[in-house]
Amino acid sequence: MAASGSVESRLDFVRQVMGIPNVYLADVARDGSAAVVLSNLTGSLQLAAVPLRGKRALRPLSHGRDRVVGARISHDSRHVAFSRDFGGREEYQLFRVPLRGGTEKMIVRLPPTRIFDFSWSRRDDVIALSGATREFNGVWLLSPETGAYRNVFQCRHWTFGPRFSAGDEQLCFAAKTTDAPTAFELVFLDGEGKRTPALYTPKAGSENGGPKWHPKEPSVVFKTDARGRYDLAVYEPDSRKLSYLQPGDQGLGVDFVSFDWTPDGDSVYYLALKEGRTRLFVERLDGADAPREIPIPKGYHAAQLWSTGDSVVFSWSSLSRPHAVARQRLKGGKRAALYEHRTKLPLGAAQHVVYRSFDGRPVHGWFLKPPRQRVRRPCVLWIHGGPAWEVADEWNAAIQAFVVAGFPVFAPNIRGSTGYGVEFQNLNIRDVGGGDLKDVEYAVRYLRGRPDVDPKKIAIVGASYGGYMTFLAVTKLPDLWAAGAGAVGITDWKESYELSDAAFRSFIERYFGTPEENPKLYRDRSPIHFVENVQAPLFIWHRANDSRCPLRPVEKFADRLRELGKRYEFHVMGDEGHGFQKTENLTWQCEAMIAFLGRVLGVPGTARSS
């Protein structure tokens, strides 16, 4: 990319990067006819079918501007149920559409409900969904034909992943039924949800989730940290027998982002995650053989076996390669591309980096820089959302947008991130904005020692939890920054708690307890109380309908900046909420951030920035 006198002249590259489609695997039909993906090819996240044989092109299934969030194919491979968010408020409605294409039909008009996930019964006559209202978290059963629905389980805290057993006699899901911050139990309920639920945990206070029923027998495979690390285990509720699979003992991964039974029930397949990359394994349940790795491209994946059990369908990407979808035979490794996107844009390659934080703990991250960078440049320190999330080796258009605009980017996975083990992930329980903020401080120390970074021009940037960390960093570590840019972040934890539904009250309690229990912690970790310390120019982007990080506290934060005469910009996008939104709006957000940093830091690669 040639040097230019203004960031604006580089924004065409930004628009092109932000226009590269995201494609995520959602489900695979049992009859092997098609996979279903979520893609923003049309400008918002919509549903499309990908034929597994014959012509390989995405065939739209859903239409409109309001995003689709999740999708599941019926067991008879005739219909797809999907959840849709209207206006970004995360008050979802459930629809269905024929897998071969046709008219969308709303299954039921729900009261305001944040749907987490859902599944069809084996007979396809019931859908079980987990979600949250303003008052409680719970599980509901509904009829896809009549729209009748009823609540069968209520909980103060989260519920996730309801699944029916092979004969629809039982339902199993994960629920946080105690106030222990990291606890999740398995809940077993009869298929009609009429009898008293039974709870199971291998160890009190452990996290257990993602249960999947065996295709023939009454047993579930699930993820657990009962042994102090993430393992996969099989539990038989009738005999109460528990057995562990091998990946934890063999160190194949520190987390397991996807797993399920093979169609014959003889094995379990799983994606093992380590340092931001996933590997696919198949393990026989008889323990006769070591887990067998299925070679797939390097990066981050979502994967499912189709009904014949001889092939796997997966979507994948890396930080420097956009999303693709492929089908691959388990034996022989023959791979067929179902969808891929190639680009000639000057993308940055990801460099694996580890630095030491204040307590000597290693922190892993990714450093990306423009391909032809030769001198020191202003640098973006990118903090991911979550906090229980990570920057994996997965396509991230926003990160590459900064790179094509000329900024090197460092994305550290600070404590609290997933993908580095249970202990690391839980380090910021009751300490959000504490040790993780020190990890950010030590990331700056690392960057100042790099020969390709201007040590006086480091900007902190992020969205959601990354937006919160941006606001906290510029208020509590004001001397470190030349600029800050935060999107959809938190500025006041107490007020956000008061404005939240049951799901996000539970989220906040996981990290802080209740406001009554820990008022000092709530105050100390809320940027609204330290605005007077801000020195760096600050860019704020928020969305009017954000239900996770409410607008009102952010408006008060901006008002305080104005009263104190601080340099800032504040933008509110109407008719949008948290999470993945319309492509044009995300593009405007990135353009505005990059233009702001260009004005404050100077144009990377020119005399103005040196």
Average pLDDT over residues 172-190: 96
What was the pLDDT predicted at 610?
A: 44
Strand partners, 186: 174, 200
In 3D space, the residue among 128, 308, 150 whose CA is nearest the CA of residue 213 turns out to be: 128
Chain centre distance of CA 190: 31
In 3D space, the residue among 337, 401, 396 whose CA is nearest the CA of residue 366 turns out to be: 396
DSSP 608: G
Q: Is the pLDDT of residue 262 over 50?
A: yes
Residue 176 to residue 466: CA distance in whole angstroms? 25
Band of residue 249 on the pLDDT scale cut at 50, 70, 90: very high
Q: Say what percent of the chain tops pLDDT 90.
A: 90
Q: Is the pLDDT of residue 461 over 90?
A: yes
CATH topology of domain 344-609: Rossmann fold (3.40.50)
Contact present, 313 and 306 (Cβ < 8 Å): yes
Residue 421 to residue 423: CA distance in whole angstroms? 6
pTM, whole model, 2 decimals? Answer: 0.96
Q: Say what percent of the chain tops pLDDT 70.
A: 98
Residue 494 to residue 496: CA distance in whole angstroms? 5
End-to-end CA gap in the chain? 18
How far, CA to CA in Å, does 286 sit from each of 221, 268, 385, 455?
Answer: 14, 11, 40, 56
Average pLDDT over residues 225-235: 97
Q: For 272-313, how does the pLDDT look when each residue is reduced to its tens digit (9 = 90+)? A: 999 999 999 999 998 788 999 999 999 999 888 776 778 899
Average pLDDT over residues 252-258: 95
Strand partners, 570: 540
User: What is the CATH code for 110-244?
Assistant: 2.120.10.30
Q: For 378-436, how does the pLDDT look when each residue is reduced to its tens digit (9 = 90+)? A: 999 999 999 999 999 999 999 999 999 999 999 999 999 999 999 999 999 999 999 99
What was the pLDDT predicted at 306?
A: 72
What was the pLDDT predicted at 5?
A: 54
Average pLDDT over residues 443-449: 98
Structure tokens at 209: 């989730």
Q: For 317-346, how does the pLDDT look when each residue is reduced to its tens digit (9 = 90+)? A: 999 999 999 999 888 778 999 999 999 999
User: Mean pLDDT over all residues of the chain?
Assistant: 94
Residue 204 to residue 224: CA distance in whole angstroms? 12
Phi and psi, residue 578, nearest 5°:
-80, 165
Average pLDDT over residues 549-568: 98
Residue 472 to residue 466: CA distance in whole angstroms? 10
Chain centre distance of CA 239: 36
How far, CA to CA in Å, does 280 sit from each of 72, 158, 284, 351?
Answer: 22, 29, 14, 23
Residue 316 to residue 297: CA distance in whole angstroms? 8
Rg (CA), the chain: 24
Q: Which residue has the tokens 């495979």?
A: 221
Q: How big, in percent rounded to 5, are the helix, strand and coil portions of the chain?
A: 20, 35, 45
HSE-CB for 480 with a 13 A CA cutoff: 25
CA torsion angle 229 504 197 211 (round to 10): -40
Residue 63 to residue 602: CA distance in whole angstroms? 42
DSSP 348: P
Residue 423 to residue 240: CA distance in whole angstroms? 28
Residue 430 region by backbone torsions, left for phi larger than 0, else alpha for psi between -120 and 50, else beta: left
In 3D space, the residue among 118, 72, 130 whose CA is nearest the CA of residue 503 turns out to be: 130
In 3D space, the residue among 485, 466, 487, 508 whose CA is nearest the CA of residue 578 turns out to be: 487
Q: Which amino acid is at 574?
A: G
Q: Is the pLDDT of residue 568 over 60?
A: yes
In 3D space, the residue among 58, 62, 78, 69 whose CA is nearest the CA of residue 26 turns out to be: 69
Contact present, 65 and 44 (Cβ < 8 Å): yes
* Least confidently predicted of 3-17, 138-152, 457-471, 539-553: 3-17
Q: Which residues contact 129 (CB under 8 A, 6 or more apart)?
A: 94, 115, 116, 117, 118, 139, 140, 142, 162
What was the pLDDT predicted at 579?
A: 80
Structure tokens at 543: 């969305």
Residue 74 to residue 315: CA distance in whole angstroms? 20
Q: For 60-80, how does the pLDDT look when each residue is reduced to its tens digit (9 = 90+)? A: 999 999 999 999 999 999 999
Q: Is the pLDDT of residue 466 over 60?
A: yes
What was the pLDDT predicted at 332?
A: 78
b/e per residue 403-419 (b: at least 16 CB within 10 A): bbbbbbbbbbbbbbbbb
